[in-house]
Amino acid sequence: MPKVELDGLLEAAEAALPELLPLRRELHRNPEIGLELPDTQARIAAALRDLGLEPRLGKALSSVVAVIEPGAEGGGARAATTILRADMDALPLQEETGLDFASERAGAMHACGHDLHMTMLLLGARLLVERRISLPGPVILMFQPGEEGFAGAKLMLDEGLLDGLDPAATRALALHIWSSLPSGEIHLRAGTQMASADSYRIRLRGRGGHASKPQLAIDPIPAAAEIVTALQVALSREVDIFDPAVVTITQIHAGTTHNIIPETALLEGTLRTLSNERRDSTLELIQRVAGSIAAEHRLAFEFELDIAYPATINDPGGVKRVANLASELVGPERVVEMSAPFMSGEDWSYVIQHAPGAMVFLGARPAAANLASVPDDHVPDNHSNRVIFDEPAMAAGAALYAAFALAP
């Protein structure tokens, strides 16, 4: 691409960022969880209208979509369509950062940086609107609820996000900010970037009774405890370390008081893998191990699979494109090729199954001086109720969004 397209782009983002910081902090103070984010949706829609764009609101969820059309000299017979995404939802956490713009909603917090994602994409949109005459094709701005376990991206696809687009002439980019990576660095890799993410439930049903007479009951609690440890042993014996799987039990619910053996026990957990083959074999392993233990204890056994995010597999061409653009924007020394995927999951995977694209990570590790009551050698990670992000990093993210759309 002509270098002139990138000249001054990062500087323009840095200059404009202070105007958007109040919006980021407003979003942070007012987090919403899941698929219904009416206040967030209204705020994003208003910001898009301020840019002269017409937002389109979702029907089954509080999504927002807007399109930046190229100017008179942009586009062409086979003009590429660019999709840029920001997720919008928060997490069910009680914030303990001590920030003066901390969440004002009990039990909800933007602990994964989605407030920064929305701000970056709005700043990137501002840069593109100002340069629309240079756009090679239309840009779809995708503001998505429900990334945190609700498959919001899939619902947006179901509502027609990509309808009518030619995959061969479509490219897609999502940025994810990360507090543990150095601020302003771009981390990326071709192929699998993030794991598949499944959640599951194991239900055990026996026979309740008096705690003093366990021989007359069929107690599900010992079996539940055995399942937790047996799964880890089975995983270490049956899973190839070069095609890994993570199986974690995160909740166990059983019983009501100290002197009653309960009838049922419920275990909930997550499975993360980097390939479809490993996912299938590990789901079979979980059911086989847990089912056999339940049978040994004379318990009825049920297995339920809930949310299932595919692995996030980056298009190699898209990653190369982002790496080249990022090197020009922030310098090659701040573009890092990841040696291994993250085992966390992302529903952006649904989009790049249909439109070649990538997800890349943007570092936003804050200076130790900005952290209240946190030792210098420990920075809270994403999903911590103490996580803090370095706001200036957003300029690099916004500039990269804009550069990705502007490059022919």
- Same structural domain for residues 180 and 213? no
What pLDDT, on a 0 to 100 scale, did the predictor assign at position 3?
45
- Same structural domain for residues 218 and 241? yes
* Residue of 147, 350, 391, 401 marked catalytic: 391
**For range 275-288, the mean pLDDT:** 94
What pLDDT, on a 0 to 100 scale, did the predictor assign at position 358?
97
- Same structural domain for residues 49 and 142? yes
- Rounded (5°) CA angle 269-275-278: 60
- Same structural domain for residues 298 and 359? no
Residue 376 has pLDDT above 80, yes or no: no
**For range 13-20, the mean pLDDT:** 98
How sure is the predictor about 228, in pLDDT bands with cuts at 50, 70 and 90?
A: very high
- Same structural domain for residues 300 and 180? no
Yes or no: say if 397 and 173 are a contact pair by the CB < 8 Å rule.
Answer: no
Domain that holds residue 171: 3-194+311-406
Backbone angles phi, psi at 249, to 5 degrees: -90, 120
- Same structural domain for residues 232 and 89? no
Any idea what DSSP says for residue 333?
A: G
Residue 2 has pLDDT above 70, yes or no: no
What pLDDT, on a 0 to 100 scale, did the predictor assign at position 76?
56
Q: What is the CATH number of the domain that holds 156?
A: 3.40.630.10
200 belongs to the catalytic site = no
What pLDDT, on a 0 to 100 scale, did the predictor assign at position 37?
98
Against a cut of 0.75, is the pTM above it?
Answer: yes
Residue 297: count other Cβ atoms within 10 Å of its Cβ. 19
Q: Cα 288 to the chain's mean position, in Å? A: 30
Total domain count, the chain = 2
Q: What is the DSSP secondary-structure string of 126-159?
A: HHHHHTGGG-SS-EEEEEES-TTTS-HHHHHHHT
- Same structural domain for residues 50 and 139? yes
Residue 68, token pair as written in the block: 């930046």
- Same structural domain for residues 324 and 342? yes
Give the pLDDT confidence of 126-181 residue by residue, as tens digits: 999 999 999 999 999 999 999 998 999 999 999 999 999 999 899 999 999 999 99
Q: Which amino acid is at 336?
A: V
- Same structural domain for residues 115 and 17? yes
Span of 118-127, 166-175, 299-308, 374-383 with lowest mean pLDDT: 374-383
Residue 246, token pair as written in the block: 């993570």
* Residue of 309, 328, 346, 401 marked catalytic: 309
Say if residue 103 is exposed, middle or buried (CB neighbours under 10 Å; 0-12, 13-18, 19+).
buried
What pLDDT, on a 0 to 100 scale, did the predictor assign at position 5?
65
- Same structural domain for residues 211 and 301? yes
Give the pLDDT confidence of 231-270 residue by residue, as tens digits: 999 999 999 999 999 999 999 999 999 999 999 999 999 9
309 belongs to the catalytic site = yes
What pLDDT, on a 0 to 100 scale, did the predictor assign at position 4?
43
Residue at which a domain ends, from 309, 344, 369:
309
- Same structural domain for residues 126 and 263? no
How sure is the predictor about 7, in pLDDT bands with cuts at 50, 70 and 90?
A: confident
Span of 74-78, 194-198, 217-221, 377-381 with lowest mean pLDDT: 74-78
Residue 81 has pLDDT above 50, yes or no: yes
Mean pLDDT of the chain: 93
* Percentage of the chain modeled with pLDDT above 70: 95
Q: Which amino acid is at 279?
A: R
Residue 77 has pLDDT above 60, yes or no: no
Give the pLDDT confidence of 304-360 residue by residue, as tens digits: 998 789 999 999 999 999 999 999 999 999 999 999 999 899 999 999 999 999 999
Q: What is the CATH number of the domain that holds 270?
A: 3.30.70.360
